[in-house]
Amino acid sequence: MPLYELDPYHMEFPHPELASDDGLLAIGGELRADWLLTAYESGIFPWFNEGDPYLWWSPDPRFVLFPHLVKIQKSMRTYLNNSSYEFRLDTAFDQVIEACSSVPRRGQDGTWLTNEMKVAYQSLHRIGMAHSAEIWKEGHLIGGLYGVSIGKIFFGESMFSHESNASKLALIRLCQWLDERSFLILDCQVHTDHLEHMGAEHIPRADFLEILENALDGDTLKGKWTDL
């Protein structure tokens, strides 16, 4: 499959099914809120190293987690039942994304979260489209994740833990929260053992795109999720 070069003055992505065998679809474009939202709505996400051009991906298969199928291992029930661990939404987005920026992403040197990427997702947060799920203990942020939400789908981007199992706890609590609000799917994008152990699975890209289409028909919970 050819690698498509995007025109920065014309916001249009090729169809995800045109991606290469490794999922790489296009290069170039812009890293702005409107470009990111258009990409996610099309089943595409950005992923590149610092200093590289913008790269856009749509892998086949896609790695996803259905919120109602999240696995809660016996060892995690102690954390779930411990009132010392407080689950919050959107109270410290900038802290979460900064913490995530120190976590290497599989197959890349260093972090994929460059300053430019952080600014882009912070802009999405300001318009109510990007959200953080957080675990607090004794007034300290100890773990969490962030992502983008459109309709009834949550596109997970990155996680971090300052204490054991804190990111797992954040993901479990988020899945429960999403399930209560009839979210269809949490997109994990690419495989990790950590997420597989929690119930994430591979599905064909065609199936993902069909679920995505249905999810986008749902109302978007735009704005801060703090009080929802």
Regions of the chain where pLDDT drops below 70:
1, 104-112
Residues of the chain with CATH 3.40.630.70: 63-215
pLDDT for the residue 49: 81
The architecture in CATH of the region 4-61 reads 2-Layer Sandwich (3.30)
pLDDT for the residue 1: 66
Provide CATH code, domain 63-215.
Answer: 3.40.630.70
**Tens digits of residue pLDDT in 100-116:** 988 765 554 545 688 88
pLDDT for the residue 112: 67
What is the rounded distance in angstroms from the CA atom of residue 104 to the CA atom of residue 50?
12
Residues of the chain with CATH 3.30.70.3550: 4-61
